A and B are shown apart, each in its own frame.
Chain A
Amino acid sequence: MNIQYKKGVLELCVLALLDQQDRYGYEISEYLSGRIDIADGTVYPILRKLKSDGLVVTYLSEESGGPPRKYYSLTSLGRKTYASDKAEYLAFANTVETILEGS
């Protein structure tokens, strides 16, 4: 599957992960690249885009042993966007599935 095609869906996946809890960049990258065939480096630009759109904010958190980690957290706008994008995507995917199965 080509990367442009995946990019929009990846954004939604990142929002879904952050909807569960705050996470740091590497955690998200590992989670997604372990399940979807993407280059490991692709997640960071997505996180940055979400931040510049105001959907997430970042904060630094000290961990035992090692430099502080940059955590990402959904804003209220991010939560709203996730809810509506999720509903939209599920309806869309459902339709596509119906069409593909029907042919």
Chain B
Amino acid sequence: MTRLEYLSQLKSELKHNGIPDADEIVSEYEQHFRFKLADGFSEEEIAAKLGAPETIAAQFTAIKSEAKRNGGRKALLVIWLTLLGLLEGMLDLLFAGFILALFGGAIAAAAIGVELIGAFNVGGLLPPMPYGGALVFGVCFLALAVLFFLAAYYCAAYLAQMVRASIRWRRNVLSDGMLPPLPWSPQFEPKARRRIRTVFLWAIMIFGITFVLGYAVLGLSTNAWEFWHALGWFGYVTP
């Protein structure tokens, strides 16, 4: 068999077996012929030593079907990951809504606190009370705002970390785990963690103390346990 006969037969066998880049494969054998010819072998000798074109083509075909089986498994995996991702996305969205609500709570509490301390009462939304009580409750609401904000911040960090870990996990599942998995809970620096804890403890302490103190101030100033009745809140008129 001559060089051209061999190559064209190999090409047609590969095409017949449905190998997509037959040309690239054939060019490798073409190069083999070139090297061997330069070494002084005849085309016939080279072709005989290469092995029958059908045999060689069959060896390439065996690889292709193996790759296809792997591809099938991968496609299934992608479908499964997508379904899981949809569920995950919905839960993440729910969590994001919760975080947004916490932020809203923080802003509202801060606004009330500022109004009480500054005695602004924009729009007459706040119930009447002596300024002493308003001052204490203002501080109380500011502390509450800090607590809300901390909760929102921590939850947001948690959500971000979960999304990151999930993406890393997916990448590893699809590419045979080349990267270390990420933790699912947020990782703060020790310094940041200490700072968060300190702010949290101070805020909850101030909140507790000023809440009790505010109650006491308003209760004493109106001389009533249920001071909100005495102050005429919620449309209640003292008889």
> Would A67 and B31 be within 8 Å (CB), given that A44-B25, A48-B63 are in contact?
yes
Instruction: Give the number of residues in B that approach A within 8 Å (Cβ atoms).
Output: 21
Max chain B Cβ within 10 angstroms of own Cβ: one of A29, A39, A41: A41
Report if B185 contacts A (CB, 8 A): no
Give chain B's interface secondary structure class. Answer: helix
The complex places the Cα of A41 from the Cα of B216 at a distance, in Å, of 95
Contact B49–A70 (Cβ < 8 Å): no
Contact A44–B63 (Cβ < 8 Å): no
The complex places the Cα of A41 from the Cα of B51 at a distance, in Å, of 6
Report if B223 contacts A (CB, 8 A): no
Q: In this complex, what residue of A is CB-closest to B30?
A: A67
Q: In this complex, what residue of B is CB-closest to A44?
A: B28
Contact B49–A40 (Cβ < 8 Å): yes
The complex places the Cα of A33 from the Cα of B50 at a distance, in Å, of 10
Report if A45 contacts B (CB, 8 A): yes
The complex places the Cα of A70 from the Cα of B56 at a distance, in Å, of 19
Q: Which of B57-115 contact A (CB under 8 A)?
A: 59-60, 62-63, 66-67
User: Which residues from B are CB-within-8-Å of A25?
Assistant: 28, 31-32
The size class of the interface chain A forms with chain B is: 10 to 19
Partner of A45, one of B46, B49, B63: B63
Report if B29 contacts A (CB, 8 A): yes
B31 to chain A, nearest CB (A): 6
Report if B55 contacts A (CB, 8 A): yes
Indicate with 1 or 0, residue by residue over A25-61, a CB within 8 angstroms of chain B CB atoms.
1100110010000011110110011001000000000
A52 to chain B, nearest CB (A): 5
Indicate with 1 or 0, residue by residue over B134-156, a CB within 8 angstroms of chain A CB atoms.
00000000000000000000000
24 contacts between A and B (CB under 8 A): A26-B31, A29-B32, A30-B35, A33-B49, A39-B49, A39-B55, A39-B56, A40-B32, A40-B49, A40-B50, A41-B51, A42-B56, A42-B59, A44-B25, A44-B29, A44-B32, A45-B63, A48-B63, A49-B63, A49-B66, A66-B34, A69-B31, A70-B28, A77-B176
Residue numbers of A with Cβ under 8 A of B are 25-26, 29-30, 33, 39-42, 44-45, 48-49, 52, 66-67, 69-70, 77
